[in-house]
Structure 1
Amino acid sequence: MRKDSEHPFRQFENDPGRHALVELFVREHCGKIKDLLRDCVPLAKGSFGNILGIRGKAATALGLALKEYPRKYESVIAPFAEQQRLSVNIPSAPRIWGSDQADGKDYVIMDEIPGVNLWALPQLQELPRAARLRIFLDALGIVDQYRKAGKRHNDITPSNLGVDATGDMRSFDPDFMSDLHQSDTDRFENKSVGSPAYMAPEAVINLPAGRGPHSDSFSMGATLIAAITGEILPKLLGENGVNDYFFYMLNTEKMQREIDVMLHEIIKDPVLLKVLLRLLHTDPAQRTVEPELRSELESGAADHRTMRYILDDYSPAYRTAVQQWEERMGMAGEQEGFMRTWLRRTAISCEKLIEFFKGLRNV
């Protein structure tokens, strides 16, 4: 794709015609998940199982993926219907279209997002400043999206955040999500869930209640410092073992002092430093990033189109992921009329689409 053009993935992702075709596809394959599994390829590892790209002529054209969940995790996974509702209301989350079961596993059918997670990008300090500011600004926006929906993500990590083909930041794996003010006791039945290296101190101190409404902000700070340095927060603070780190978090005054020292030593950009000092505060009430500070981020941040070609230049993994999606969708090199061309390529006939709309009218 030309760097001065908008990437058509966003148009593809949000196109109402595609949505109708996907709903038809999911309806036709309900109870037939084994048929889809025969044509799947591994894309990535999720919190509990693989994310699989659905292939085959029609499925490839629709840009869909499967995520699998072993049934033994059923008690801590957010209900799929709730995840599906969330995916409609949170722009950064992949759209979830349906769920099914086979061979002791649950599966959700979701959009495949072309791009890479933060671990697959170069360390942020190696990117131009405008790209770093954009990633920070979008990261704050993702926390805002979940809060606005009345939810906590509960597992924000570099693996669960990424950048898509349009240069937009995306959030993945809302498996552990809960209501914003819901205690871990109620949500997880006293089970320990999440990624310890990115947990907020209150997740440990307040046991069994655990996380609070500002815990995602701390996890986002821990994610961003890891993306900058390539090291997780416990290691940056000199704590290697999980149990040692949990014990360390109990002394919030000491932890706060050492976080402040570490950030001042590592982060030389004054704007990013101010953001991280906020997000990584051990007092949840101090984690708010003021509008003035967000304005400082926005004033120097790359727009999403520029972000896309910065990553195309700096990240071979990103460039490859986007190119593979373009080639798979048969759109490499095309600039105009993508949706028209795509509709001609889909294996779902117009007759089936008409039947689908008739069915909706009769519901």
Structure 2
Amino acid sequence: MADRTPPPAPPSLLKSPEYRKPLLLGRYEVGKLLGQGNFAKVYVARNVRSGESVAIKVIDKEKILKGGLVAHIKREIAILSRVRHPNIVQLFEIMATKAKIYFVMEYVRGGELFKKVAKGRLREDVARKYFQQLVSAVAFCHARGIYHRDIKPENLLLDENGDLKVSDFGLSAVSDQSQKDGLFHTFCGTPAYVAPEVLAQKGYDAAKVDIWSCGVVLFVLMAGYLPFHDQNIMLLYRKIYKGEFRCPRWFSTELTRLVLRLLDVNPSSRITIPEIMENRWFKKGFRHVRFYFENDRFYSLDDIDKPPEEPPEEPPEEPLEPEFASKRKGLGLRRPASLNAFDIISFSPGFDLSGLFEETGEEKRFVSGEPVSVIVSKLEEIAMLLSFTFRKKDYLVNLEGNKEGGKGGALKVAAEIFELTPSLVVVEVKKKAGDRGEYEDFCKNQLKPYFLNSTSQQSGADSEF
């Protein structure tokens, strides 16, 4: 299992006067400003414990609240916490104070790919390498239901080894944001890289939009200029909509065919990711980044999740392992979904963004030291005691009252089981229907006593987050 933490900073950088005190949240020395926008600033920083260099994105809570960007930030967090790929800038942890939110991210030293292209077109082998790494990252995101929607050289960084890193998921979307027609309708992206179907404003397949943008990037890398360009924005959009461009004479026949398939104005016939990966020009020297699929999560074999360190004032009692090989037998359940660091953060009211984002009060979480089979049996026992209907599927359990309750009708409760460590399980309980008061009584009088007992036997700790 490979370590996913960033490489140590060079000694010259660690001793650089660009670092200054005081420490951020007791553990990061913050250095020079790398860039800033309307709502955030990005600094280089050093972890004083490990000596690792990171980039810290500092977001002003008040500004995003006033700007109505809470949902935007929540989406960015959700997306960044789901992407683990060697060609994607990595988010290590999220921290928050009353006034600020901090994204601690991988520090990529090589700068933007745009700066390299601005000097002129690249050699074919170099351009192919960057395009292969871009497609690999995009394929991974699409497999996770994540769509970037703003792919361009300015959002592609290079590390010290000359490898590409996709950054800036600020305009990204996830599959469940699509409308009833299964398409996206938000007009977004950078003019020269936007797909024609986005301009049509009739809905678009976000995966096909990313592929178009990848095609524009490939053209720029190999040509040294944009396929679609005009000072007049409407004329530019007209060229994009009609697909009016020509490949330069130095493009090989194989490359020209690939670019034409990438920049096909008809999204239904545009080349797909699997077809790109089987393309002869693309496949030369391509090295697959292998992933395995488990419980609706992808993991890079070289990049397994590890939880971030807790703040100094709240050290963890024991290491939290991200992956487990344990299997549950005889229960008819898949192994419960393992929680990664970001799931754990989202459960912790003292370490997450709970001060920023409202809570519904209808989700409750309990921990237990009991085996999953025992927990399921106990939930079934509670259901029988209350004459509730009990149903289970994999690691999801549903309990439904058989009589009308208060204003909301019969109480319906869903419980989902997650594995925190091999000996510690989290049960997330949600009210699906019924009266709020009845639900609160159910949790207080039926669930909490059981989980308090089951956890205190293991650690002596209160079991509710």
TM-score when normalising by structure 2: 0.50
Q: Match of 2:284, SS?
A: helix
| TM-aligned CA deviation for residue 205 of structure 1 | 0.7
Residues 159 and 165, structure 2, Cα contact 8 Å, conserved in 1: yes
Structure 2 unaligned segments of length 5 or more: list them: 10-22, 290-308, 321-420, 422-458
Give distance in 1, aligned partners of 2:26 and 2:251. 53
1:152 to 147, 155, 175: 147
Q: Match of 1:65, SS?
A: strand
Q: Match of 2:260, SS?
A: helix
Residues 229-263 of structure 1 deviation map (CA, whole Å, 9 limit, x = unaligned): 4433431xxx22334433554xx4xx23x22xx12
Q: CA 1:204/1:134 → structure 2, altered by over 3 Å: closer, same or farther?
A: same
Find the counterpart in structure 2 of residue 54 from structure 1: 45
Q: Higher helix share goes to which structure?
A: 1
1:64 to 50, 54, 62: 54
Q: Match of 2:32, SS?
A: strand
Residues 97-154 of structure 1 deviation map (CA, whole Å, 9 limit, x = unaligned): 1143665x64322121232221121459654332122122222212211111111111
Residues 184 and 211, structure 1, Cα contact 8 Å, conserved in 2: no
Counting aligned pairs with the same residue, the percent is: 19
2:258 to 256, 265, 275: 275
Find the counterpart in structure 1 of residue 272 from structure 2: 288
Find the counterpart in structure 1 of residue 171 from structure 2: 176
Q: Match of 2:89, SS?
A: coil
Find the counterpart in structure 2 of residue 326 from structure 1: none
1:40 aligns with 2:31: yes
| TM-aligned CA deviation for residue 65 of structure 1 | 1.2
Alignment of 1:178-197 (within 5 A): 178-180=173-175, 182-183=177-178, 192-197=187-192
Give distance in 1, aligned partners of 2:54 and 2:81. 18
Q: Match of 1:231, SS?
A: coil
Alignment of 1:309-324 (within 5 A): none
| TM-aligned CA deviation for residue 34 of structure 1 | 7.8
1:92 to 87, 90, 96: 87
Residues 124 and 227, structure 1, Cα contact 8 Å, conserved in 2: no
1:358 aligns with 2:342: no
Give distance in 1, aligned partners of 2:200 and 2:131. 27
Give distance in 2, aligned partners of 1:273 and 1:37. 48
The structure having more radius of gyration, on CA atoms, is 2
Structure 1 unaligned segments of length 5 or more: list them: 1-10, 19-31, 305-347
Q: CA 1:140/1:17 → structure 2, altered by over 3 Å: closer, same or farther?
A: closer
Superposed CA RMSD in Å reads 4.3
Q: Match of 1:277, SS?
A: helix
Residues 121 and 221, structure 2, Cα contact 8 Å, conserved in 1: no
Q: Match of 2:150, SS?
A: coil
State the aligned residue count.
279
Find the counterpart in structure 1 of residue 16 from structure 2: none
Find the counterpart in structure 1 of residue 199 from structure 2: 204
| TM-aligned CA deviation for residue 291 of structure 1 | 5.8
Alignment of 1:208-227 (within 5 A): 209-227=203-221
1:115 to 110, 114, 122: 110
Give distance in 1, aligned partners of 2:86 and 2:54. 17
Q: Higher strand share goes to which structure?
A: 2
